[in-house]
Amino acid sequence: MKPMLTWIGGATAALVLVFSGASLAGAMMDDGSDAKAEAIEDAIPVDAAAVDAADGTQPEMVSEEVVQPIPAAAPKEEPFVVKRILDIPGPIKYGEWYWDDEGVPDGPLVMTVDLDARVISVFKGGYEIGAAAAMLGTKEYPTPIGTFPILRKQRHNVSEKYDNAPMPWSMFLTRDGVAIHGGRPVENGYASHGCIAIPDELASRIFAIAKPGDKVIITRGKTLEMGQKII
């Protein structure tokens, strides 16, 4: 005879006695004594909490509201929003240029050109770091309007169309040769064949930090103020 003890749900137990292929339940007493069999509850320890749960009684649960503060989101950096405009006294005159990048954090470069004001502005991460009067195209050879990425740069360049005119620090905006460049004094009464000619001192500084893909936005009569988006 081999007893097998099986637990069910932690609270109910059954005792099964296996006799040579036959199963008997209960207790057998061969000596005819009236001794009572030990109660099953006394033989097997019972988990009272489990019994209560089996009877449908749920233990009392106490909960408290937990409020977890949510940290404020960090302000989103806007590299193409105007954060600073250079303090320039009065309108920029032909031949004048300004540059101030001291303390300006790293950021994407973008330039704007206003054909009416005939001014180029250079922004780095939203901070204006450079500005100058520009020599632009004519009605016959207009400077195009739109947003242009810098396609390529050429430090030493001459115009193949116009008598090998010097165009140092060229930053090309179109495939037909329109570029921002230096090469000659920016004076009243002169124009380009569609290019944006600026003083050599400014052209060299822009050339040093500009890279292909940087945007140049050419408009007519549009100005920017603090907090406005450049692009």
Strand partners, 7: 13
Residue 2 pLDDT > 60, yes or no?
no
Question: Do you know the residue count of the chain?
Answer: 231
* CA-wise closest residue to 127 among 144, 111, 145: 111
Residues taking part in catalysis: 181, 195
Strand partners, 81: 229
Residue 217 pLDDT > 90, yes or no?
yes
CB 148 within 8 A of CB 105: no
CA-to-CA distance for 215 and 198, rounded, in angstroms?
Answer: 17
> Which has more pLDDT, 141 or 24?
141
Instruction: Please write the tens of the pLDDT for every residue from 94-152.
Output: 999 999 999 999 999 999 999 999 999 999 999 999 999 999 999 999 999 999 999 99
Give the pLDDT confidence score for residue 24 in this predicted structure: 38
Q: What is the mean pLDDT of residues 66-70?
A: 66
Eight-class DSSP state of 75: P
Sorted by sequence, the CB contacts under 8 Å of residue 166 that are 6+ apart come out as: 157, 158, 159, 183, 184
User: Domains of the chain by range and CATH?
Assistant: 2-54 (no CATH), 97-219 (2.40.440.10)
Q: What is the pTM of this model?
A: 0.67
Confidence of residue 195 (pLDDT cuts 50, 70, 90): very high
Helix%, strand%, coil% for the chain, nearest 5: 10, 30, 60
Q: Averaging pLDDT over each range in 7-21, 115-129, 183-197, which range is the top one? A: 115-129
Residue 10 pLDDT > 80, yes or no?
no
User: Could you tell me the strand order of the sheet in which 22-24 lies?
Assistant: 2-8, 12-19, 22-24
Strand partners, 13: 7
Q: What is the mean pLDDT of residues 60-87?
A: 73
Confidence of residue 44 (pLDDT cuts 50, 70, 90): low
Sorted by sequence, the CB contacts under 8 Å of residue 143 that are 6+ apart come out as: 113, 115, 136, 137, 178, 192, 194, 195, 196, 218
Whole-number percent of the chain with pLDDT over 70 = 68
